Amino acid sequence: MRRKTRHQHENHERWLVSYADFITLLFAFFVVMFASSQADKGRAKEVSEAVQKALENGKMPSIAAILGGSVDDKGRGNAEMQGPGGHKVPLSRPAPKIRDAELKAVELQASLKLLSAELEKEIQQGKVQVKMEPRGLVVSLRQAAFFPSGEDTIAPETYPIIDKLASAIQQLANPIRLEGHTDSKPIYTDRFHSNWELSAARAIAMLNLLSGRYKIPADRMAIVGYADTAAIESNETEEGRAKNRRVDIVILNTPALKAEPPAVAAAITQKGK
């Protein structure tokens, strides 16, 4: 006896399930996009969480997984914990901190403006020059105003000018370099046998004045004697030689400090904190 084959009824409405999922997902997508476009980030987060919660309560874990990363055993997404790349993404970024080097650069610019204003008369008279260089703030003291010819004694009448310089230095933690310079004319006296000795002696005299009279720590300062090797003008004219005879007070910035000996740089950096 031949059995009749019973044909199962084919469900032609299965596409509605996929279509409903697609419409729901599309709705959720536009809601999240709208919430993300709002200026109020706190409100945007509330809207996003509300949509996610509604999807979870509607027992649609597949869509909840799309919005919330992976789904745990309770059907809850974990995107709020993990986010892209597995890390929680903050809603707002902290304000950038000003680096120590940038802060010191700002301080040096303020000192440049202050000294330029307070020493305006001396600058116009050619006694002092104030300028900013890549290594820091440089104050040039002309020998004709501050030192008798061929000597390393600082003229007392220049102390009011140095008072203003010392006041600016005391407000900073930067290291100080005192650089002595001469012109190219050779010198040979009972005290100084060369321009090297004279330039170094003048730098030492300025160090002793700043540390003794103005109580600036000596370990913040260093002396250099350049003789006539770092001329700023031609030594062929008297005017040029007069500008070359000088003592530069250099307030070093952070990049220049890195070029100092490691022990000195470390000590000054530690004190500046």
User: Interior CA angle at 218 toward 215 and 223, to 5°?
Assistant: 125
Q: Are residues 124 and 79 in the same domain?
A: no
Q: Examine the pLDDT at 73 and tell me if it is beyond 70.
A: no
269 vs 168 pLDDT, higher one: 168
CA 187 to chain centre: 45
Percent of the chain with pLDDT over 70: 62
Q: Are residues 125 and 211 in the same domain?
A: yes
- Contacts of residue 206, defined as CB under 8 A and 6 or more positions apart, other chains included, come to 141, 154, 178, 223, 247, 249
- Determine, yes or no, domain membership for 228: yes
Give a yes or no: residue 8 inside a domain: no
- Pair type for strands 246-252 and 176-181: antiparallel
- Whether 202 contacts 153, CB under 8 Å: no
What are the residues whose beta carbons fall under 8 Å from the beta carbon of 65, sequence distance 6 or more? 71, 77
- Phi, psi of 261, deg, nearest 5: -55, 140
pLDDT tens-digit map of 112-129: 898 899 899 999 999 999
More confident residue, 228 or 52: 228
Do 138 and 82 fall into the same domain?
no
**DSSP H or E run through 252:** strand 246-252
Question: For residue 30, what pLDDT is reported?
Answer: 77
Residue 240: band (very low, low, confident or very high) from pLDDT cuts 50, 70, 90:
very high
The burial class, CB within 10 Å (0-12 / 13-18 / 19+), for 257 is buried
Q: Which domain holds residue 26?
A: 15-86
Q: Which of 35, 64, 86 is the last residue of a domain?
A: 86
CA proximity to 207, closest of 227, 221, 191, 192:
221
Q: How far apart are CA 238 and CA 96, in angstroms?
A: 52
Q: pLDDT tens digit string along 19-32?
A: 777 888 888 777 77
Nearest to 32 by CA among 15, 14, 44, 17: 44
151 CB-contact burial (10 Å; exposed 0-12 / middle 13-18 / buried 19+): middle
Indicate whether 73 and 197 sit together in one domain: no
Both 42 and 161 in one domain: the answer is no
Q: Nearest-CA neighbor of 205 among 180, 231, 230? A: 180
- Are the C-beta atoms of residues 192 and 150 closer than 8 Å to each other? yes
pTM for this structure? Answer: 0.58
Long-range CB contacts (within 8 A, 24+) of 113-119: 114/168, 115/139, 115/164, 115/165, 115/168, 118/164, 119/161, 119/164
**Number of domains the chain contains:** 2
Name the residue among 209, 221, 198 with its Cα closest to residue 267: 221
Q: What is the pLDDT of residue 35?
A: 63
> Residue 136: pLDDT above 80?
yes
Whether residue 247 sits in one domain with residue 180: yes
Mark whether 50 and 139 lie in a shared domain: no
The residues facing 179 across adjacent strands are 224, 248
**Last residue in a domain, options 52, 86, 120:** 86
